[in-house]
Structure 1
Amino acid sequence: MAGFRIEKRKLSSGELRYKCIVREKSQGKIIHNESKTFSTKALADTWGKKRVHELETERVTEKKRTVTLGTLLNMYFEDHDLWNRTGRTKQYVIKMLMDCDIAKIQSNALKVSDVIEHCRNRRDAGASPSTIYHDVAYLRSVMKVAYPVWNIGANYKIFEDAVPVLIDMGLVGKSQKRTRRPTSDELERLREGLQKRMEYRPNGTKRIPYLDILDFSLLTCMRIGEVCKITWDDLNTQHKTVMVRDRKDPRKKAGNHMIVPLLGGSFDIAQRQPKIDERIFPHNPRSVTAGFQRVRNELGIEDLRYHDLRREGASRLFEKGYTIEEVAQVTGHRNLNILWQVYTQLFPHKLHDKE
């Protein structure tokens, strides 16, 4: 049973403070004890009532049906309403977690020490702190929906205590700023390799115009998923713009449409595509990136991702003299600080071109 009391004390300055002490007992023993000090009695009373309600709710939840975390992760995987709205990275992590030792733990019995052990195992296996953070964040998100969706008890609130400890231990952290830009030589070699790949066309497969897509990606700074999604109806031939629908945004994606100018030769690239589909580039983005990666690997080009072309395109626009607001109109960034810090890596020697 949980309850609280408020203690009043006077500071040396004469001001009053109210300390709210919340305790929970079971079979005559204290199983939970916490306190917090406030400037008014009303605030202390409100917090005490709130914490008592939360503790009692947690105890009720613990009595609900429980399953192993592996079963819970699989339930999330099989729920189409949840899974189909989940990004590729999160889907990959959830599938991976199903095979980890942490998946054997009951959903309401997970402890901070279990999370730490999982993170240590992942680190020892070669995962970076930013990658391990995905494990923690996505596991918490699955556990958070366990009760409202399936009436399953899951103590996801332990992550509030776990994350600060994991950060202090260096087991989780933010991803490092990526600065990789392809050199002119690398791009030329990639074009030659992609041209050869276009010439080799297995029977029954649709030919992917790798070179046009590569150059279009560089000029528009679009993600490959956006490139392969735009339609002929989205193209405005009069203004040489295109509507990019549901553009990625940390706050909102659905309905986040944006009109993007087709600079350089990107408009001409779009115009010369055959109109065989409602989409301008009717290809699976994964097939495009897979072909890019095969050619890159064959050429021995290291640490270059297709998404780096987006940073390359943004950096080129800055080097040409476009303002940050103008570049944001192309890249779609709402936060200009992120655009400047993450998506620009200027070549110092390019500054001579401005003289």
Structure 2
Amino acid sequence: MATVRKRNGKWQAQVRRSGHPSRARSFITKPEAQRWIRDVEAELDAAEAQPVTSAQAGAKLLASTTIADLLTRYRDTVTPRKRGHIPEINRLNAFLGQPWASLPLSDATPQVFSRYRDHRAGQVSPGTIIRELGLLRSVFETAQNEWDVPLTANPVAKVRKPTAPEGRTRRLAEGELDSLLKPSSIGRTIWLRAAIQLAIETGMRRGELLNVRWSDVDLRVGLLTIPRTKTDISRRIPLTSKAVSILMELRDAPGARNEERVFCVKPDAFQLAWQRCKLRASRSQPDILDLRFHDLRHEAVSRFFELGLSTAEVALISGHRDMRMLFRYTHLKPEAIVAKLQTTSTPLARNQQQ
């Protein structure tokens, strides 16, 4: 819109157009003002007729798209396809409540997430921060690679992660297993006793235990197939005689033959039963409260090595494809190694005996 008006003895011309800054100038005569308006409008028309470059379009998209837009799209389209989608949805929803979520992508710099990292350091563990930064990095990578968002760089990629905590070395202390098995055999959660024992005998994760179907178990040959694993790679594991005995007992329990799964329990109910079991066990073993069900997998893998199984054999059972991760789950008891050394004569000892 263009206007011409007389003020203080001069003609004031002004041109306003959406998407452009307002421009104004004063002239002695009205024709001069009108001519200037026509020149300015012609200049604006020519500018608008020019094709928008990809750089300009990209800059406009980054300025009009917020971090929250990416988080929401990732939550609604990518996360539901993941097995652990519920915790990730909760984490993404928490991100949406952060002040930086409303920032346009043009302002999404590494410094934004560095400040967030430092803020979280006083609230959660380093492991949690590492997982949060990993999720944010995945969101931006997906936007770059799959959604054609013209980000010049991933703003989270350059953010320094806190030092990762050392892997847990928690194993069952003397008497702790008995303290767990006693309360797990009481009431409506007697299935928990079998779940605890099978976790130690097989090294299976909680989710793997809850997904086992009777059709996956071959008690005749002592093999169990785990079709759904954390790594999405199925595996067949050999069963110990004790594991076979536990499964046979579960199979022969009243009503078991009518069930598809070995453990017909929801994850939340399982976790609640586990916490209650630990609370009862803590009366005689106070330190047991810090035991996690996943620690039983550590216990199992460590026992496999103490039995003399090779690394390849243990990996076959546990499903580890990265030997570094396998060794993180391995916490051998020095006492077991001492006993092994004392029952095996060394070459030097044999020479001395000769």
TM-score with structure 1 setting the length? 0.70
User: What amino acid sits opposite 1:120 in the alignment?
Assistant: D
Equivalent in the alignment of 1:143:
140
Residue of structure 2 aligned with 1:267, choices 244, 247, 251: 244
How many angstroms does 1:129 deviate by?
2.5
Mapped partners of 1:83, 1:101: distance in 2 = 25
Mapped partners of 2:310, 2:144: distance in 1 = 49
Aligned Cα root-mean-square deviation (Å) = 2.5
Mapped partners of 2:258, 2:152: distance in 1 = 52
How many angstroms does 1:102 deviate by?
2.4
CA contact (8 A) 1:63 1:153 kept: no
Task: Give the 3 Å change call, closer, same or farther, for CA 276–59 of structure 1 in structure 2.
Answer: farther
Equivalent in the alignment of 1:39:
none
The aligned runs of 1:286-325 (5 Å cut-off) are 286-298=268-280, 299=282, 300=286, 301-325=288-312
Residue of structure 1 aligned with 2:111, choices 110, 113, 120: 113
How many angstroms does 1:195 deviate by?
2.4
Mapped partners of 1:93, 1:222: distance in 2 = 26
Cα deviations by residue, 1:97-134 (Å, 9 ceiling, x for unpaired): 22222223223321121111101110122x22232122
Equivalent in the alignment of 1:72:
70
Query: Is 1:339 the equivalent of 2:337?
Result: no
User: What amino acid sits opposite 1:104 in the alignment?
Assistant: S
Mapped partners of 2:301, 2:181: distance in 1 = 20
User: What amino acid sits opposite 2:298 in the alignment?
Assistant: R
Q: Secondary structure at the match of 1:145?
A: helix
Query: Is 1:329 the equivalent of 2:307?
Result: no
Query: Is 1:233 the equivalent of 2:215?
Result: yes
Query: Is 1:285 the equivalent of 2:271?
Result: no
How many angstroms does 1:82 deviate by?
3.6
Equivalent in the alignment of 1:214:
196
**Percent identical:** 26
How many angstroms does 1:332 deviate by?
1.1
CA contact (8 A) 2:136 2:156 kept: no
CA contact (8 A) 1:93 1:134 kept: no
Equivalent in the alignment of 1:158:
155
User: What amino acid sits opposite 2:117 in the alignment?
Assistant: C
How many angstroms does 1:297 deviate by?
3.9
Equivalent in the alignment of 2:11:
none
Cα deviations by residue, 1:180-211 (Å, 9 ceiling, x for unpaired): 11213222211222223xx1x4xxxxx56000
Cα deviations by residue, 1:32-64 (Å, 9 ceiling, x for unpaired): xxxxxxxxxxxxxxxxxxxxxxxx977643322
Cα deviations by residue, 1:308-348 (Å, 9 ceiling, x for unpaired): 000101111111222222111211112233212x1111111
Residue of structure 1 aligned with 2:206, choices 224, 231, 237: 224
Task: Give the 3 Å change call, closer, same or farther, for CA 93–192 of structure 1 in structure 2.
Answer: same
User: What amino acid sits opposite 1:232 in the alignment?
Assistant: W
Mapped partners of 2:108, 2:93: distance in 1 = 19
TM-score with structure 2 setting the length? 0.70
Mapped partners of 1:259, 1:144: distance in 2 = 35
Runs of 5+ consecutive residues of structure 1 not aligned to the other structure: 1-55, 202-206
Residue of structure 2 aligned with 1:98, choices 88, 96, 99: 96
The alignment covers a number of residue pairs equal to: 277
Residue of structure 2 aligned with 1:276, choices 241, 255, 258: 258
**Based on CA coordinates, which of the two structures has the bigger radius of gyration?**
2
Equivalent in the alignment of 1:44:
none
Mapped partners of 2:144, 2:331: distance in 1 = 45
Mapped partners of 1:176, 1:111: distance in 2 = 30
Query: Is 1:63 the equivalent of 2:45?
Result: no
User: What amino acid sits opposite 1:289 in the alignment?
Assistant: Q
Q: Secondary structure at the match of 1:243?
A: strand
Mapped partners of 2:73, 2:139: distance in 1 = 10
